[in-house]
Amino acid sequence: MGIEIERKFLVQGDGWRGQSPGAVYRQGYVLASQGRTVRVRVAGTTGFLTLKGGAQGLTRKEFEYEIPLAEAEELLLLMCDRPLIEKTRYHIPYQGLIWEVDEFAGENAGLILAEVELTSETQTVPIPDWIGTEVSSDPRYYNAFLSRHPFRLWGGLDS
């Protein structure tokens, strides 16, 4: 059984740039309801189908399966709500952890988030100086929410 434990933060500054080549991601949601999601993702040249359960604290069930790229592309085209999530993901190592920095494009351009996956909710996390406010418990920053309420419509981060 898959489990995901992660913390999510806004990114401030450019101290993370240049540390990793980015990979372009496109993803869409077949279902996003009551904290559960069924997501289709194309990451570079690989397709994925992911099912996530509702969060309990920082933990949620996650099941991810690689699928043929052509099928992922077709699912994105025919089965997913609009707008799709478009972003470039960068993997930034910092003090023994890997931070995933997502620089959004398209309808969510201007938003940059960083996530770090943990082995437990109580794990100590060294915070890089380019990390800003923690938004782990703010559902507005979930990709499923962003697909229905794009960042460009928010009118600023405090909305």
Which CATH number do you get for residue 70? Answer: 2.40.320.10
What is residue 56's predicted lDDT score, i.e. its pLDDT?
A: 87
Provide mean pLDDT across the span 20-37.
Answer: 94
Look at residue 158 and tell me if it is in a domain: no
If you average pLDDT over residues 36-46, what whole number do you get?
96
**More reliable by pLDDT, 155 or 69:** 69
| Residue-level pLDDT at 159 | 44
157 pLDDT band, cuts 50/70/90, is: low
Distances (CA, A) of 37 to 97, 116, 125, 149, 159: 26, 20, 27, 16, 24
Question: Using one digit for the tens of pLDDT, what is the confidence trace for 75-129?
Answer: 999 999 999 999 999 999 999 999 999 999 999 999 999 999 999 999 999 999 9
- On average, the pLDDT of the chain sits at 94
Whether 159 maps to a domain, the answer reads no
Spatial separation of the C-alpha atoms in residues 57 and 47, rounded to whole Å: 28
Is 27 among the domain residues? yes
Residue 56 lies in a domain: yes
DSSP-derived 3-state class of residue 35: coil
Report yes or no on 61 lying in a domain. yes
Catalytic residue among 25, 29, 90, 94: 29
Range of 62's domain? 3-153
pTM of the model: 0.92
Q: Which two tokens stand for residue 27?
A: 């993803």
Provide the pLDDT for residue 156. 64
Residue 47 in domain: yes
- Which has the closest alpha carbon to 22: 73, 93, 83, 87? 87
CB atoms within 10 A of CB 139: 10
Confidence of residue 51 (pLDDT cuts 50, 70, 90): very high
Domain count, the chain: 1
Is 29 assigned a catalytic role?
yes
